[in-house]
Structure 1
Amino acid sequence: MVITGYQPAHNSQAFIRDIIVYDIPAKWDNYTIINALSAWGKVISMTVKWQKKYKTLHVKLEISQLFKNYEKHWMAPLMGFRVRWFPAS
Structure 2
Amino acid sequence: MANPEAQTPDKQNTLFLGAKTTAPGVTHILTGYKESDDEREQVRDIIIYNIPYTWNVEEILGELTLWGKTIKLSLKWQHKYQTLRVKIVLNSFTFPQFNKFWTIDWEFQAVIHDIPVDMTMATLWADRKPQPFLTTCSASAFKIIQTSKGKRKLVKYFENWEATLKALGTPQVCLENH
Q: Check whether TM > 0.5.
A: yes
Moved over 4 A (4+): none
Q: Is the contact made by 1:21 and 1:83 (CA closer than 8 Å) also made in structure 2? A: no
Consecutive unaligned residues in structure 2, runs of 5 or more: 1-27, 111-178
Query: Partners in 2 of 1:28 and 1:5 — Cα distance?
Result: 21
Which residue of the partner structure matches residue 68 of structure 1? 95
TM superposition shift of 1:67: 1.7
Match of 1:10 among 26, 32, 37: 37
Query: Partners in 2 of 1:45 and 1:83 — Cα distance?
Result: 24
Larger radius of gyration: 2
Normalized per residue, which structure has more strand?
1
Q: Deviations over 1:42-68 (max 9, x none)?
A: 000000000111100010000012322
What is the TM-score when the length of structure 1 is the normalising length?
A: 0.81
Alpha-carbon distance change, 11 to 69 in structure 1, aligned in 2, over 3 angstroms: closer
Structure number with the bigger relative contact order (C-alpha 8 A, sep ≥ 6) is 1
Query: Partners in 2 of 1:16 and 1:49 — Cα distance?
Result: 21
Query: Partners in 1 of 2:95 and 2:32 — Cα distance?
Result: 23
Map residues 1-89 of structure 1 onto 2, 5 A cutoff.
Answer: 1-71=28-98, 72-76=101-105, 78=106, 81-82=107-108
Query: Partners in 2 of 1:74 and 1:15 — Cα distance?
Result: 17
Q: Identity across aligned pairs (percent)?
A: 32
Amino acid at match of 2:43: I
Consecutive unaligned residues in structure 1, runs of 5 or more: 85-89
For 1:6, what is the secondary structure of its paired residue?
coil
Query: Partners in 2 of 1:44 and 1:83 — Cα distance?
Result: 24
What is the TM-score when the length of structure 2 is the normalising length?
A: 0.42
Aligned residues: 81
TM superposition shift of 1:83: 6.2
Alpha-carbon distance change, 66 to 11 in structure 1, aligned in 2, over 3 angstroms: closer
Query: Partners in 1 of 2:69 and 2:38 — Cα distance?
Result: 15
